[in-house]
């Protein structure tokens, strides 16, 4: 995924793969891992999505979503029981809601925060 600033982010579907940041010429910049009480599959990522605010969302094998603030490098783990399973696609609508295509549950909506 190419970010608004030109940097490229890659997710890895391997245990402790996490998110890797490269510059626009594919020179390595940083490796992001969720380290606070990680399970074996929390850093095993399905895909990446950047929302309108620049935040990077990374659904994972553990049934949660890693959320990376590229400005600060802070990474958190968003958990909700409805997420368990593969999230194939994320998009954001004009109102700021996040829509996820879930392999088994269809569309899931996370309401925008006002």
Picking from 77, 81, 47, the residue whose alpha carbon sits closest to that of residue 65 is 77
**Total count of residues recorded for the chain:** 114
pLDDT of res. 21: 97
pLDDT of res. 39: 67
pLDDT of res. 38: 66
Q: What are phi and psi of 82, to 5 degrees?
A: -70, -15
Q: Which residue has the higher pLDDT, 36 or 31?
A: 31
Burial of 100 (0-12, 13-18, 19+ CB in 10 A): buried
Q: Which residue has the higher pLDDT, 70 or 113?
A: 70
Q: Count Cβ atoms below 10 Å from residue 66 Cβ, excluding itself.
A: 25
pLDDT of res. 61: 87
pTM listed for this prediction:
0.85
Residue 57 has which token pair?
A: 């969302």
Average pLDDT of the segment spanning 55-78: 92
Q: Does residue 114 register a pLDDT over 60? A: no
The pLDDT > 70 percentage for the chain reads 95
Distance between CA atoms of residues 112 and 45, nearest Å: 23
The pLDDT > 90 percentage for the chain reads 52
């Amino acid at each position: 995924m190419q970010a608004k600033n030109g940097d490229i982010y890659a997710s890895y579907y391997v245990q402790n793969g996490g998110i890797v940041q490269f510059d626009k010429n594919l020179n390595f910049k940083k490796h992001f891992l969720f380290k606070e009480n990680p399970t074996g599959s929390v850093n095993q990522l399905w895909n990446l999505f950047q929302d309108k605010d620049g935040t990077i969302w990374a659904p994972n094998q553990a049934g949660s979503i890693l959320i990376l603030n590229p400005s600060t490098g802070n990474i958190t783990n968003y958990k909700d029981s409805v997420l368990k399973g593969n999230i194939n696609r994320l998009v954001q609508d004009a109102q700021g809601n996040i829509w996820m295509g879930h392999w088994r549950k269809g569309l899931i909506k996370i309401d925008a925060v006002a």
